[in-house]
Amino acid sequence: MAEKEIVETSEAQIAVHWQEEAYFHPSARFIAQANMTDEAIYDRFRLENFPNCFKAYADLLDWYEYWHTILDTSDAPCWKWFVGGKINAAYNCVDRHLARHKNKTAIHFVPEPMGEKYEHITYQTLYVRVNEFAALLRDFCGLKAGDRVTLHLPMVAELPITMLACARLGVIHSQVFGGFSGQACADRIVDSGSRVLITMDAYWRGGTLLDHKKNADVACEVAAKQGRAVDKVLVWQRYPGKYSAATPLVPDRDHVVNDVLPKYYGARIDPVPMPAEAPLFLMYTSGTTGKPKGCQHSTGGYLAYVAATSKYVQDIHPEDVYWCMADIGWITGHSYIVYGPLAVCASTVVYEGVPTFPDAGRSWRIAQDLDVNIFHTAPTAIRALRKIGPEEPRKYNYHFKHMTTVGEPIEPEVWRWYYNEVGKGEAVIVDTWWQTETGGFLCSTLPAIKPMKPGSAGPGMPGIHTIIYDDEGHVLPQGAGKAGNICIQNPWPGAFQTIWGDRERYVRQYYERYCKDPQSKDWRDWPYLTGDAAVEAPDGYIRILGRIDDVINVSGHRLGTKEIESAALMVPEVAEAAVVPVAHEIKGKEPDLYVSLKPGFEVHDGLARKVSDAVCDAIGKIAKPRKVWIVKDMPKTRSGKIMRRVLGALSNNQDAGDVTTLANPDIVDEIRRMVQG
Ligand code: WTA
């Protein structure tokens, strides 16, 4: 394991040769209106002031009962924040804004078909819809605080409405990315122990109205085989009153929401005051083993952290129109489309489809139509938009004051296009580095205080104290110019609480490596391992180089190589499978899949396709391999370990390096001829 991590860290280092960039400074105009301009914030959040500094974040929220203990470490490394506090997330995101802002748009929904009108849901309407749906969940489904429910919804306004209805009741939601397959959804239903699945009949993507309901049938069937019966499937309709899927409803199990809902019109449900440390949601993500893990996020700590970072990093004011292009099925959408922005009373945009359809101007047209002034997206989208329409942003009349990039490293050249063309030289950019596990931003500039540096995420957020270790556990000091494993020295309120149902894995994966004393109850002994390689420049800015573990970042989405490999191994002919990341101009990385066959099986037409389809069925199209290479044998060490490093080099048109120590060096040449021609 250690050997592999050293190799991958240095590989990541080689992959990125960006020269140090000049700083870009925010405009006086931006600073004049910014929420956070006080440089002393960094002093207030120094380690000496930890954890009390985070009181300021909790105070952005309304509490039923104020907490008595800011941080309880007695169950280290499962941290409890704001203990004794009682709070409701839906109340904080909806009800408390009604007094002053009930007529303000909370959610702008942008449908994909050009002819369909945008929907503008005010805070009052959101309040009504959340209450009615919460009533349905409670009284029709019998859901109560602490129950889990799986959502497999596309990007429609009903998704945040469903999440907030759950939050109102203290029901733990687990939203599965809409593009994931029914099988992937089933795994998450089983792991979370959900007996209710909430889905939608259909949604638009790239010009097609996709039948989404069929995934629910697969999900229920697969979950049933694993012993988890789903007794109710609630089906929202993309067009209320009209069922748009080809897949029929299953009697008794499936219920069209719009048929049941009228019974609850006018219902008002008191928000349930939840303990601050009660789980708000689960978000499954890929890690080093085959099984996705359910990151469990708290109510009070999480909401405080995303509210504060939305206010100070995203610079959201109630009068702004804020558009984060991510999918709500990922953590970015949970934290920075739904909970953070709504907690600070933003107008947040939910859009259906893809940025490049029907044309390269779609994003800028939406920005113009809604007068969006804060824009948030990922390098993969920026690269795609730059490629197909470099001049396109100029044709539209919009003005961003602020832009975000998230999810993967951004090349300085792409950064500059984002700055000059998309931002028209007017907008500040924040490069926010964080993870599903961390709930909110770890590193970023505070936009009115710190200058921007293309390609660097910036320093740790206030109260986030980074530390970079080498593989031997030595600290790499600021400016060392060497890459290492970036960790966070202290807990913070947004951090996940544990892996759902698997505390042992939580400890092992995130805390064991650099833990100073496994018996300790002191947070100082438990640095959090992020799994990324990074370098810290002399100015304290962090540049993230990529993952040190078996995670591939495709278009900013995390995929576990082990998940893809296990899917390939389900194909009867396949004996061994190995996945490696290949550089891709738009997506950042793509998976290349190598398989060898069991004795007695021959390569045949359609086999590669069969393997590729197996991966898409198990995970979703997003995991589709660039290419399935059927090889006679895998390059292996003498102890029989597959050398993924060698395959990775071949896939990326690089030299395989020294392979003389392998058990079967000859195979490398054979594979090279196949892959590199
Ligand atoms: C990567 C997404 C460079 C990183 C919020 C991390 C980034 C993984 C950045 C988490 C960034 C995220 N610069 N790399 N600004 N943001 N990453 O859990 O490798 O989907 O560990 O969370 O994405 O992906 P996840």
User: Do 163 and 147 contact (CB within 8 A), yes or no?
Assistant: no
Ligand 1 atom with minimal separation from the 330 CA: 20
Q: How far apart are CA 185 and CA 221, in angstroms?
A: 11
Report the percentage of the chain scoring pLDDT > 90: 88
Cα–Cα distance list, 278 to 65, 133, 422, 520 (Å): 14, 21, 41, 24
Cβ–ligand 1 distance for 434 under 6 Å, the answer yes
pLDDT over 90 (residue 291): no
Ligand 1 centroid to Cα of residue 434, in Å, is 5
Cα–Cα distance list, 77 to 304, 435, 488, 519 (Å): 20, 18, 13, 10
The predicted model gives 167-186 an average pLDDT of 97
Question: Which of the 8 DSSP states describes residue 431?
Answer: E
pLDDT tens for 435-445 read 999 999 999 99
Please name which of 662, 617, 622, 612 lies closest in space to residue 642, comparing C-alpha atoms. 662
Cβ–ligand 1 distance for 432 under 6 Å, the answer yes
Instruction: Give residue for tokens 């292009």.
Output: 325
Cβ–ligand 1 distance for 327 under 6 Å, the answer no
Within 10 angstroms of residue 220's Cβ, the number of other Cβ atoms is: 23
User: Do 337 and 324 contact (CB within 8 A), yes or no?
Assistant: yes
Look up residue 244 and give its two tokens: 């748009």
Cβ–ligand 1 distance for 409 under 6 Å, the answer yes
Q: How far apart are CA 466 and CA 464, in angstroms?
A: 6
pLDDT of residue 137: 98
pLDDT of residue 301: 98
Cβ–ligand 1 distance for 523 under 6 Å, the answer no
Ligand 1 centroid to Cα of residue 156, in Å, is 24
Within 10 angstroms of residue 394's Cβ, the number of other Cβ atoms is: 12
Cβ–ligand 1 distance for 331 under 6 Å, the answer yes
Ligand 1 centroid to Cα of residue 662, in Å, is 33
User: Do 448 and 315 contact (CB within 8 A), yes or no?
Assistant: yes
pLDDT of residue 556: 85
Minimal-distance CA residue to ligand 1 atom 6: 435
Minimal-distance CA residue to ligand 1 atom 24: 435
pLDDT tens for 407-422 read 998 988 899 999 999 9
Look up residue 379 and give its two tokens: 């390098």
Q: Which of 431, 553, 559 gets mutated to test ligand 1 (max ligand atoms within 8 A of its CB)? A: 553
Instruction: Identify whether 77 is preceded by a cis peptide bond (ω within 30 of 0).
Output: yes
Q: Which of 453, 532, 535, 542 gets mutated to test ligand 1 (max ligand atoms within 8 A of its CB)? A: 532
pLDDT over 60 (residue 18): no
pLDDT band at 12 (very low <50, low <70, confident <90, very high): very low
Minimal-distance CA residue to ligand 1 atom 22: 435
Higher pLDDT, 628 or 662: 628
pLDDT over 50 (residue 10): no
pLDDT tens for 215-270 read 999 999 999 999 999 999 999 999 999 999 999 999 999 999 999 999 999 999 99
Cβ–ligand 1 distance for 407 under 6 Å, the answer yes
Cα–Cα distance list, 635 to 255, 577, 595, 647 (Å): 52, 12, 11, 8
User: Do 166 and 207 contact (CB within 8 A), yes or no?
Assistant: no
**Which amino acid is located at 509 in the chain?**
Q
pLDDT over 50 (residue 194): yes
pLDDT tens for 497-545 read 999 999 999 999 999 999 999 999 999 999 999 999 999 999 999 999 8
* b/e code 642-665 from CB counts within 10 Å (16+ = b): bbbbbbbbbbbeeebeebeebebe
Q: Which of 406, 443, 528 gets mutated to test ligand 1 (max ligand atoms within 8 A of its CB)? A: 406
Q: Which helix (H) or strand (E) element contains residue 150?
A: strand 148-152
Q: Which of 433, 456, 535 gets mutated to test ligand 1 (max ligand atoms within 8 A of its CB)? A: 433
pLDDT of residue 15: 39
Look up residue 261 and give its two tokens: 């809902």
pLDDT tens for 547-588 read 888 889 998 888 888 889 989 989 999 999 999 999 999 999
The predicted model gives 438-465 an average pLDDT of 97
pLDDT over 50 (residue 14): no
Look up residue 561 and give its two tokens: 């190589």
User: Do 400 and 426 contact (CB within 8 A), yes or no?
Assistant: yes
Look up residue 636 and give its two tokens: 């292996």
Within 10 angstroms of residue 316's Cβ, the number of other Cβ atoms is: 28
* b/e code 483-512 from CB counts within 10 Å (16+ = b): bbbbbbbbbbbbbbbbbbebeebbbebbbe
- Cα–Cα–Cα angle for 467, 473, 477, nearest 5°? 40
pLDDT band at 2 (very low <50, low <70, confident <90, very high): very low
Q: Are strands 374-377 and 402-406 parallel, antiparallel or unpaired?
A: parallel
pLDDT of residue 289: 66
Cβ–ligand 1 distance for 534 under 6 Å, the answer no
Q: How far apart are CA 225 and CA 186, in angstroms?
A: 10
Minimal-distance CA residue to ligand 1 atom 14: 408
Ligand 1 centroid to Cα of residue 131, in Å, is 34
Q: Are strands 80-83 and 69-72 parallel, antiparallel or unpaired?
A: antiparallel
Cβ–ligand 1 distance for 332 under 6 Å, the answer yes
Cβ–ligand 1 distance for 553 under 6 Å, the answer yes
Q: Which of 9, 445, 544, 552 gets mutated to test ligand 1 (max ligand atoms within 8 A of its CB)? A: 544
Look up residue 511 and give its two tokens: 């805390």
- For the four alpha carbons of 9, 12, 18 and 23, in that order, the dihedral sign comes to negative
Ligand 1 centroid to Cα of residue 558, in Å, is 8
Ligand 1 centroid to Cα of residue 122, in Å, is 32
Cβ–ligand 1 distance for 408 under 6 Å, the answer yes
Ligand 1 centroid to Cα of residue 604, in Å, is 39
pLDDT tens for 460-502 read 999 999 999 999 999 999 988 888 999 999 999 999 999 999 9
Residues 6+ apart with CB under 8 A from 474: none
Residue 525 buriedness (CB in 10 A; 0-12 / 13-18 / 19+): middle
Q: How far apart are CA 312 and CA 370, in angstroms?
A: 23
Cβ–ligand 1 distance for 285 under 6 Å, the answer yes
**Which amino acid is located at 620 in the chain?**
G
The predicted model gives 431-460 an average pLDDT of 97
Ligand 1 centroid to Cα of residue 51, in Å, is 25
pLDDT of residue 13: 41
Cα–Cα distance list, 669 to 51, 463, 631, 677 (Å): 56, 51, 12, 11
Ligand 1 centroid to Cα of residue 302, in Å, is 18
Ligand 1 centroid to Cα of residue 27, in Å, is 27
Ligand 1 atom with minimal separation from the 547 CA: 19
Helix/strand/coil percent split, the chain, to 5: 35, 25, 45
Minimal-distance CA residue to ligand 1 atom 8: 435
Cβ–ligand 1 distance for 284 under 6 Å, the answer no
Cβ–ligand 1 distance for 320 under 6 Å, the answer no
User: Which of 88-92, 621-625, 634-638 ranks highest by mean pLDDT?
Assistant: 88-92
Q: How far apart are CA 608 and CA 434, in angstroms?
A: 35
Q: How far apart are CA 134 and CA 271, in angstroms?
A: 9
Minimal-distance CA residue to ligand 1 atom 15: 433
Ligand 1 atom with minimal separation from the 432 CA: 15
Cβ–ligand 1 distance for 264 under 6 Å, the answer no
Q: Of 26-40, 45-59, 532-546, where does mean pLDDT reach its minimum?
A: 532-546
Cβ–ligand 1 distance for 532 under 6 Å, the answer yes
Ligand 1 centroid to Cα of residue 660, in Å, is 35
User: Do 473 and 467 contact (CB within 8 A), yes or no?
Assistant: no
Ligand 1 centroid to Cα of residue 310, in Å, is 17
Ligand 1 centroid to Cα of residue 547, in Å, is 9
Q: What does the DSSP assignment read for 202-221?
A: EEEETTEEEE-HHHHHHHHH
Cβ–ligand 1 distance for 277 under 6 Å, the answer no
pLDDT band at 350 (very low <50, low <70, confident <90, very high): very high
The residue count for the chain: 677
Instruction: Identify whether 527 is preceded by a cis peptide bond (ω within 30 of 0).
Output: no
> Over the chain, what is the mean pLDDT?
94
Instruction: Identify whether 51 is preceded by a cis peptide bond (ω within 30 of 0).
Output: yes
